[in-house]
Structure 1
Amino acid sequence: MKRKSKVLAGLLLLITALTPVVSVSADASFYTYNYDVYDVELPSPDAYTAQDLLLGTYLGIGDFRNPKGLFVRGETIYVVDTGNNRIVVADKNFNLIDEITSVNLDGEESTFLNPQDIFVAENGDLYICDTDNNRVLHTDKNKNVIKVYTKPNDENFSADQTFIPLKAVADNTGRLYLLAGNVNKGFLEFDKDGGFTGYVGANKVKASFFQVIQKRLMTKEQRARMILFVPTEYSNLAIDQENFLYATTTTFTPGDLANNPDRVNPIRKINSLGDDVLVKNGYYHPIGDMQWGSGGDIVGPSRLEDITALDNDTYFALDRVRGRIFGYDFQGNMLYAFGGVGNKMGYFQYPVAIDHMGTDLLVLDNRAGSVTRFTLTEYGRLINDGLADYKVGRYEESAESFRKVLELNGNYDLAYIGIGRALLRQGEYDEAMKYFKSKRDWDSYSKAFQQYRKQWVEANIEYLIAGFFVIILLPKVVKGVRKLTKGGAQK
């Protein structure tokens, strides 16, 4: 039976490979691209390529139905198959390891009801968002329940408010962060013992002048019935190896995004104090596509549905609107974007989750009921190597990797900037300035110029001092000579 399923899966892969792509975007006619300093899309060699497709039928357990969650721990993949009330576990080669349909709660079997997400700790503990059972289950690796998180007993959580856990992550101390439906105060935070400690990462939204006036004119009863200045809700969250939360939000207007991206911040990096500390030193903020048109029923800007942070501090965000993946480095520069909506391998119908296994990326497609694995190309590996070498101080090696990138893509602005940054760290300020100037990275150019000016002054200090004294003394010498000359003439 399993062999037949593999044959059927192979035929499906062949069919999808031969099926023409259904293009629904007027923004780009190429698969991988980037933006230059003028926000113009530039085609790029592929940094990632679609390598494998995981289907429930391939595993011999039937189709995934309405899958909502995806998590990777080490070389193990967890798919939250929401419609089938199960969690499917597979290895890196897409072989079935387990099919979790229940847990052991107080000695009895307890099943799921529309589970939405799972997080797996390094010790193998599971945190399962059992959404329609209104609970989060914390189990050991043998699926024995350790704790059950339910509706917080807190005055900020109203009596008639339903507890709807959607997404969860835990840090290395056992503290749980939870994205819940109908909550607009940020992420719920629970300590390692399961106690609710408050909210973290709430958006700081300021009221306009007219909203303040409107509120003052309202009666007390009207103000009580009206929810004003509500912070934006998040769409997803992830956690990196340093316990920073990466979060995405999708509830904003295109006008807000175009005119005030600092206020919208579709991607955020949240520290333990709840502050957004995401670095944004690129040409533009990490918001997905910089230009957006319409095609078919696809309109508006990118709506980033999920995010994953790699160990090298790069991060990748998933756009549910056009099925694209946007990669960024630790400075907020867009590395590349790729993907699209369609029926071909490497495209999606409705992507809902992204995670990584090493440098591989895995994307869950809700409508197709599949997980696609993307692997680095040589071009993508060179970019990664350049970034990795720079971070650990191997600046010469970093510059060499970026020079090889330029051999493959002469339009890649980040390679010029990467070489400039490496030269700057090596003390080659004059050369660094040339690279920064060529790509109009004026902030980096200013840093290089300051160091170049300081270096030049130190190298020429003797001449400068001599010149200074010449400028000061020369008029006195000339004046003295003139007096002597004049005195001699009078005699």
Structure 2
Amino acid sequence: MKKTMKRLSALLIGMMIALSSAMAVYADEGYTYNYDYWGDIQYSPDAYEVSGVYSAVDFGLETGLKTPSGLFVYEDMIYICDTGNNRILEIQRTGSQTLELIRVIDSFKGGEGPETFSSPQDVAVTDDGYIFIADTNNSRILKLDMDLNYVMEFTKPVDATFDQDLSFLPYKLAIDTAGRVYCVATNVNKGLIKFEADGEFSGFIGATEVTYDWTDYIWKRFATQAQREQMESFVPTEYDNIYMDYEGFIYACTTHVTKSTLEDGTADPIRRLNMMGSDILIRNGEWHIIGDIYWGDGGGYSGPSLITDITAFDNDVYVGLDKVRGRLFAYDDQGRMLFAFGGNGNMDGYFKLPSAIDHMGYDLLVLDQQDNSLAIFTPTEFGKYIYQAIDQFQAGEYAESGDSWQKVLELNGNYDRAYIGIGRSLLRQEEYEEALDYFRLKWDDENYSKAFKQYRKEWVEEHIGVIFIIVFAVLCIPLLVGKIKAIKHEIDQADIFRDYKQ
């Protein structure tokens, strides 16, 4: 009995040591990571740190936020759609960690309908001083001036292409420089609804491609009418959110994806639409732009990342927000993941149910619908060097960009993107042989091929004289030797003939 107790005690102690070791390893890893060429998770220094988390109390409000859904940043102003309270909060960022409530927008002046809001889901502000509000349950998009005077509204399209049996429930919106409105509406799966600046409906753009299984298609051909009605229709999916970048292109994201379509690459949860509605997002990364590439179950969460909102910087880096595990995924203009961070939880830097994201400079702002709070993240030294390297490369400062990537490597020697970044900077500086080494290290076949092609061309140009001599020698020396041998043979034959005659 005593031996049994000792064994059990030893086993229990061993399990505790193993568990504590595992917890220590997990704690050391942090919550910022990336994927290498082989798909292994590589933890890294944090690219962002929490600047502050703010609730209604911090804004001096007696009534707390209630299911906030929309977020918009304009210069130093932050607009929050406090959906459950039917109001818009206008907040000014007066310092890196200081936010000041300017006004609560819960009504406006003018118009023929109600002068209050009903479940507003999104808001946008334009350079010419107008506020657009997706007043969802009032079935309209409002356009107000900065004094909250009614200007106009965008209502349900009266058009054969819009199902008149559907209610018009504008959900998310974006406004271009000409005042045109692009809207995501609940239950509309034909793409983005587009209104001209005068309120005229001008059609749908950017509908996602229809995907279906051939076996389902064949089965539908032979199924009865009742069976077909019970089967899922082959229709485009709906968008969840949109964001218009500085060039006027629209980033759109959708959570209407499946595991199978994400795995085989047929689903595009993030798209970049031009004015024709075509997807022009570049996908040159090793992995699909889907957030996490592994979907292990744990903590009550399962399944793939669901990108519910997106924002984009002026250097074409874009960040998607995953509502499943509360993570943020940043990608460069080539579709390579720069980093991912975040998670679900109650601590600062984690979320319960993130609903919206925007940026102020390189700072990221995330709205948590369940925690009823706004979190602000600022780049760390590691993150600043990454952005600095990308900005310098886009500005044509290739040597400086390479130096910045080198500083990134000093902070994280396993960071693949830094090796590729140095290689690309060397490629632009026409240092092709050196660039090959960096691309080879991180298995970047595409850039390696570009560098090798230029290196081969340069090498040929530098050694053209030697190449010509070698080619000449290879082709002409055998002919010359043969000619000499023939002449010598003729001479020998002539000597033999002369001796014979004598």
TM-score by length of 1: 0.91
Give matches, 1:325-344, under 5 Å. Answer: 325-344=328-347
Q: Which runs of 5+ in 2 are unaligned?
A: 1-22, 496-502
Q: Distance in 2 between matches of 1:150 and 1:223?
A: 34
The equivalent residue for 2:147 is 142
Give matches, 1:177-216, under 5 Å.
Answer: 177-216=182-221
| Structure 2 counterpart of 1:257 | 262
Deviations 1:23-63 (A, max 9, x none): 9xx9x953111110011111110111001122111112121
Q: Could you tell me how far apart the structure 1 residues matched to 2:227 and 2:276 are?
A: 34
Equivalent residue for 2:248?
Answer: 243
Correspondence for 1:426 among 426, 429, 440: 429
Matched letter for residue 139 of structure 1: L
Alpha-carbon distance in 2 for matches of 1:221, 1:155: 27
Structure 2 vs 1, CA of residues 299 and 226 (structure 1 numbering), >3 Å: closer, same or farther? closer
Q: 1:390 and 2:393 equivalent?
A: yes
Q: What residue is the counterpart of 2:269 in the other structure?
A: 266
Deviation at 1:220, TM superposition (A): 8.0
Secondary structure of 1:234's partner? coil
Equivalenced residues, count? 465
State which of 441, 444, 447 in structure 1 corresponds to 2:444.
441
CA-CA distance at 1:219 after TM superposition: 7.0
One-letter code of the match for 2:197?
A: K
Using a 3 Å threshold, how does the CA distance of structure 1 residues 43 and 227 change in structure 2: closer, same or farther? closer
CA distance in 1, matches of 2:288, 2:470: 47
3-state SS of the aligned residue for 2:109? strand
| Secondary structure in 2 matching 1:434 | helix
Secondary structure of 1:116's aligned partner: strand
| Counterpart contact for 2:242–2:252, Cα < 8 Å | yes
Considering only aligned residues, what root-mean-square deviation do their CA atoms show, in Å?
1.9
Q: Which amino acid aligns with 2:455?
A: Y
Q: Which residue is 1:74 aligned to?
A: 75
SS, match of residue 105 in structure 1: coil
Q: Which residue of 1 aligns with 2:483?
A: 480
Q: Is the 8 A contact 2:205 2:276 kept in 1?
A: yes
Higher relative contact order (CA 8 A, sep 6+): 1
Instruction: Tell me which residue corresponds to 2:11.
Output: none
> Which whole-Å CA distance do the structure 2 matches of 1:184 and 1:51 have between them?
38
SS in 1 for 2:314: coil
Deviation at 1:208, TM superposition (A): 4.0
Aligned-residue offset at 1:124: 2.1
2:329 match: secondary structure: strand
SS of alignment partner, residue 396 of structure 1: helix
Distance 1:159 1:287 in 2: 34
Sequence identity of aligned pairs in percent? 47
For 1:301, the equivalent position in structure 2 comes to 304
| Separation in structure 2 between the aligned mates of residue 223 and residue 300 of structure 1, nearest angstrom | 28
Map of 2:170 onto structure 1: 165
What does the per-residue CA deviation read over 1:400-451, in whole Å, with 9 as the maximum and x for residues that have no partner?
0000110000000000000000000000000000000000001100000000
For residues 94-105 of structure 1, the aligned pairs below 5 Å read 94-105=99-110
| SS across alignment from 2:403 | helix
Corresponding residue SS for 1:111:
coil
Q: Distance in 1 between matches of 2:304 and 2:80?
A: 28
Separation of aligned partners in 1, 2:408 and 2:194? 43
Aligned partner of 1:58 in structure 2 is 58
Deviation at 1:226, TM superposition (A): 7.0
* AA partner of residue 347 (structure 1): Y
1:180 to partner: Cα distance: 0.3
Tell me which residue corresponds to 2:364.
Answer: 361
Separation in 2 of the partners of 1:208 and 1:95?
53
Say which is worse superposed, 116-125 or 403-412, in terms of deviation: 116-125
Q: 1:218 to 1:132 in 2, by over 3 A?
A: same
TM-score (norm 2): 0.89
Q: 1:375 aligns with which of 371, 378, 397?
A: 378
Task: Give the CA deviation at 1:351.
Answer: 0.4
Deviation string for 1:122-144 (max 9, x for gaps)?
12211101111111111111111
Question: For 2:202 and 2:227, how far apart are their aligned partners in 1?
Answer: 31
Moved more, 144-153 or 70-79: 144-153
- Distance in 2, Cα, partners of 1:49 & 1:266: 26
Counterpart for residue 112 of structure 1: 117
Aligned to 1:132, what secondary structure does the other structure show? helix
SS at match of 1:483: helix
Matches of 1:29 and 1:153, distance apart in 2: 55
Distance 1:281 1:178 in 2: 29
Specify the SS of the correspondent of 2:115. Answer: strand
